[in-house]
Amino acid sequence: MRKDVAMYRRNKNIFLDNLENSLPIRILNRLNRLFSSYLIKNSKTVFSERIIEYPILFQHLKPGPCRILDFGCVEDLLPIHLASLGYRVTGMDFRPYPFTHKNFDFIQEDILSWVPPDEAFDTVVSISTVEHVGLSVYGDPVCKDGDKIAIEKLWRCLRKRGELIITLPAGKTCIERGMRIYDGQAVKELVPMIETMRFFYKPNRYGEWQETTEEVISKLIYDDYRTISPAQGVVFIVSRKS
């Protein structure tokens, strides 16, 4: 099985028919269930920021024909969700994307060297991606101001009155585990013409997500920056190009 497809299979959004029904996979799945039921007794549930990001994005998007750029779509089915809803979607990422749809096009390119088309999209979406640009987390080039350059280019390809919709990890400003974390002031310095800025957090790694204030976010320190899915704060941002 291709590694680039395996990551999408884990959450059961896709199935590989010839694979799922094969005897070796059925045996492995059975063993996995047995071992998982044993190990899960001592595990704790961690809900990532996706619990907030996807619902609030779909809540905000307007129905109808719309050209959407989804920057940072690898390891994600969001562009296929959007294409299936009838939006005309272009995905862009440094790494290859394995799926296709009649309403979906893909550009494999480094945003730092990408020349954006002027005013090509009605909406630009980027879910928890801009914070990584220039930090070489995925083998992309190192660039100190990578997040700023990314925002400038995404803004350039947005049509007038179009919306830039992004999410970023929120908390006390720092750079940890290959990502930048932003407080309210850092967001305002990064993103132009903000119309909406909503903060969400969980008080500890195993806590429940809830909406909060910019003041709370400015003091938020994550329990463990080095673990899987460390984010305890996220900011949802909507900007409109005049």
User: pLDDT tens, 29-69?
Assistant: 666 666 666 666 667 888 899 999 999 999 999 888 899 99
Q: 15 pLDDT exceeds 60?
A: no
* Residue-wise pLDDT tens digits, 154-199: 999 999 999 999 999 999 999 998 999 999 999 999 999 999 999 9
Predicted local distance difference test score (pLDDT) of residue 13: 59
Same-domain pairing of 38 and 131: no
Predicted local distance difference test score (pLDDT) of residue 10: 52
Which residue range forms the structural domain that includes residue 32? Answer: 3-42
Same-domain pairing of 33 and 72: no
Phi, psi of 124 (to 5 degrees): -120, 130
How many domains would you assign to the chain? 2
Same-domain pairing of 12 and 88: no
Given a contact cutoff of 8 angstroms between Cβ atoms, the answer to whether 166 and 125 are in contact is yes
Same-domain pairing of 63 and 154: yes
Same-domain pairing of 73 and 121: yes
Predicted local distance difference test score (pLDDT) of residue 43: 74
Q: What is the pTM of this model?
A: 0.86
Average pLDDT, integer, range 81-109: 96
More confident: 128 or 19? 128
Q: 8 pLDDT exceeds 70?
A: no
Q: What is the DSSP letter of 62?
A: P
Same-domain pairing of 22 and 133: no
Same-domain pairing of 9 and 69: no
Q: 112 pLDDT exceeds 90?
A: yes
Predicted local distance difference test score (pLDDT) of residue 138: 85
Predicted local distance difference test score (pLDDT) of residue 11: 53
Which whole-number Å values give the CA distances from 101 to 18, 69, 77, 123, 206, in the listed order? 21, 15, 11, 19, 36
* Cα dihedral sign, 41-14-64-165: positive
Q: 220 pLDDT exceeds 90?
A: yes
Same-domain pairing of 30 and 65: no
Residues in the chain: 242
Same-domain pairing of 65 and 25: no
Same-domain pairing of 94 and 13: no
20-38 exposure pattern, b = at least 16 Cβ within 10 A, e = fewer: eeeeeeeeeeeeeeeeeee
More confident: 3 or 152? 152
Predicted local distance difference test score (pLDDT) of residue 1: 43
Same-domain pairing of 164 and 95: yes
Same-domain pairing of 126 and 103: yes
More confident: 7 or 88? 88
Q: 12 pLDDT exceeds 60?
A: no
CATH number, domain of 68, equals 3.40.50.150
